[in-house]
């Protein structure tokens, strides 16, 4: 293999540093897997279908609450407010644009909402199943079929509705703590903590439904808890981070700014969730350390590539095997350093000149020529002697032949 150039040598030095340290190696493995799995594409799909499903799901929620809680307007209002509080900054604007005040007791609104929820929610549920099974590298033969997939779709839609109700219940419980004399920042902390617990349980149920059975539930727990906590953190921080930009967008573009704000919120939440799932996968499958430059391939590289190949298994009768050549474990030649190569070359040149000056090579050549000349002279002398000894025999045989011819 060719020697490394200075840039590659520096990159490989950084690569070796991160592979030898647990935290940098783990963080880089998560980032690399996000890129290898085309995480940006998965985030875009989740954002798009979440946006499509939002409006019909909200219409369906308001319509159902208007029928079920007709005699309890205060509770109905609290649940609706809790649902829109999941959209920071743009929640009130979103509610006014939908005109829910005039639709919450309308049968057509309920019918439209349910139809849209089924159509839009189906796409979101399917994309969610595809995303989680891809991140966990589940072989396609283990993905749910047509009927199980649609049954899970409706179960996921039901979970979203239950999650909205449970979130409202957590907020109501936290609000009731004021009766016991708890108020101020501590009350706000209680509300966030209860909501985080509810969200974590909801994420765990969603992850379990959307992921194939080949992935154990215990491997999903940490990612679900982290996602639930992250959701609440984003709800708190989003008001400080994106409030200014979203308000300016709404002031400039009106409804268009509302759409941009909603898309930005979904994209942020989807990105955080996908990264947290990747953390769970890398931890559970021990997919670190990963290499920046290859070859050689690390154990994490080989495990990931083997799992990617195994994902293409589509039939129970099919078997996929993965092997790596010796090149996968071979690092490129680092090449001599400039100082070392200079000393080696000068030493070699001096040694060669010394041998020539001492006459080693020339003496050997001259000695060889002298030996060859002596051997040749000896062979010529031996030939002359043999010719001299055999000459009388020829003369004696001559007359005998002549006498025979005379007779």
Q: Which of 121-135, 210-224, 253-267, 320-334 is predicted with the least confidence, judged by mean pLDDT?
A: 253-267
Predicted TM-score (pTM) of the model is 0.74
pLDDT at residue 395, as a whole number: 41
Mean pLDDT across the stretch 341-362?
Answer: 44
pLDDT at residue 184, as a whole number: 62
220 pLDDT higher than 90: yes
What secondary structure, in 3-state letters, does the chain show? CCCCCHHHHHHHHHHHHHHCCHHHHHHHHHHHHHHHCCHHHHHHHHHHHHHHHHHHHHHHHHHHHHHHCCCCHHHHHHHHHHHHCCCCCCHHHHHHHHCHHHCCCCHHHHHHHHHHHHHHHHHHHHHHHHHHHHHCCCCHHHCCCHHHHHHHHHHHHHHHHHHHHHHHHHHHHHHHHHHHCCCCHHHHHHHHHHHHHHHHHHHHHHHHHHCCCCCCHHHCHHHHHHHHHHHHHHHHHHHHHCHHHHHHHHHHHCHHHHHHHHHHHHHHHHHHHHHHHHHHHHHHHCCCCCCCCCCCCCHHHHHHHHHHHHCCCCCCCCCCCCCCCHHHHCCCCCCCCHHHHHHHHHHHHHHHHHHHHCCHHHHHHHHHHHHHHHHHHHHHHHHHHHHHHHHHHHHHHHHHHHHHHHC
How does residue 258 score in pLDDT terms, banded at 50, 70 and 90?
confident
pLDDT tens digits for 88-142?
655 666 666 565 555 555 677 677 777 877 887 888 899 999 999 999 999 999 9
341 pLDDT higher than 60: no
pLDDT at residue 315, as a whole number: 93
Mean pLDDT across the stretch 253-274?
Answer: 82
How does residue 80 score in pLDDT terms, banded at 50, 70 and 90?
confident
Q: Which of 163-167, 209-213, 264-268, 349-353 is predicted with the least confidence, judged by mean pLDDT?
A: 349-353
pLDDT tens digits for 29-77?
999 999 999 999 999 999 999 988 887 777 777 777 777 777 777 777 7
pLDDT tens digits for 369-406?
455 555 555 555 544 444 444 444 444 444 443 333 43
């Amino acid at each position: 293999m060719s020697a490394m150039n200075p840039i590659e040598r520096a990159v490989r030095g950084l690569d070796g540093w991160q592979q030898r340290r647990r935290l940098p190696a783990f963080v880089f493995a998560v980032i690399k897997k996000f890129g290898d799995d085309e995480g940006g594409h998965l985030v875009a799909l989740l954002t798009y279908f979440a946006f499509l499903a939002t409006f019909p799901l909200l219409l369906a929620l308001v319509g159902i609450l208007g029928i079920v809680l007709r005699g309890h307007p205060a509770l109905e209002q609290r649940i609706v407010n809790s649902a829109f509080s999941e959209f920071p900054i743009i929640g009130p604007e979103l509610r006014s644009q939908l005109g829910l005040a005039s639709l919450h007791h309308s049968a057509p609104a309920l019918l439209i909402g349910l139809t849209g929820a089924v159509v839009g929610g189906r796409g979101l549920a399917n994309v969610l199943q595809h995303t989680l099974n891809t991140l966990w590298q589940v072989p396609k033969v283990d993905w749910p079929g047509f009927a199980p997939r649609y049954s899970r779709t409706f179960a996921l839609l039901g979970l979203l509705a239950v999650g909205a109700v449970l979130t409202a219940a957590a907020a109501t419980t936290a609000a009731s703590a004021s009766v016991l004399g708890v108020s101020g920042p501590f009350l706000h902390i209680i509300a966030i903590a209860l909501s985080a617990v509810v969200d974590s349980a909801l994420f765990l149920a969603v992850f379990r439904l959307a992921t194939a059975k080949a992935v154990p539930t215990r491997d999903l727990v940490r990612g679900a808890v982290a996602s639930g906590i992250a959701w609440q953190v984003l709800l708190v921080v989003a008001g400080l981070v994106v409030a200014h930009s979203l308000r300016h967008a709404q002031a400039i573009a009106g409804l268009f700014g509302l759409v941009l704000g909603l898309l930005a919120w979904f994209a942020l939440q989807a990105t955080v969730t996908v990264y947290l799932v990747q953390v769970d996968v890398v931890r559970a499958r021990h997919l670190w350390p990963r290499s920046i430059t290859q070859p050689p391939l690390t154990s994490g590289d080989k495990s990931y590539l083997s799992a990617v190949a195994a994902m293409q298994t589509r039939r129970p009768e099919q078997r996929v095997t993965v092997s790596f050549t010796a090149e996968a474990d071979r690092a490129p030649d680092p090449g001599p350093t400039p100082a070392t190569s200079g000393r080696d070359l000068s030493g070699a040149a001096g040694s060669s000149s010394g041998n020539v000056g001492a006459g080693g090579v020339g003496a050997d050549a001259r000695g060889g020529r002298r030996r060859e000349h002596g051997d040749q002279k000896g062979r010529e002398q031996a030939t002359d002697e043999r010719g001299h000894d055999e000459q009388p025999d020829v003369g004696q045989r001559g007359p005998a032949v002549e006498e025979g011819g005379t007779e």
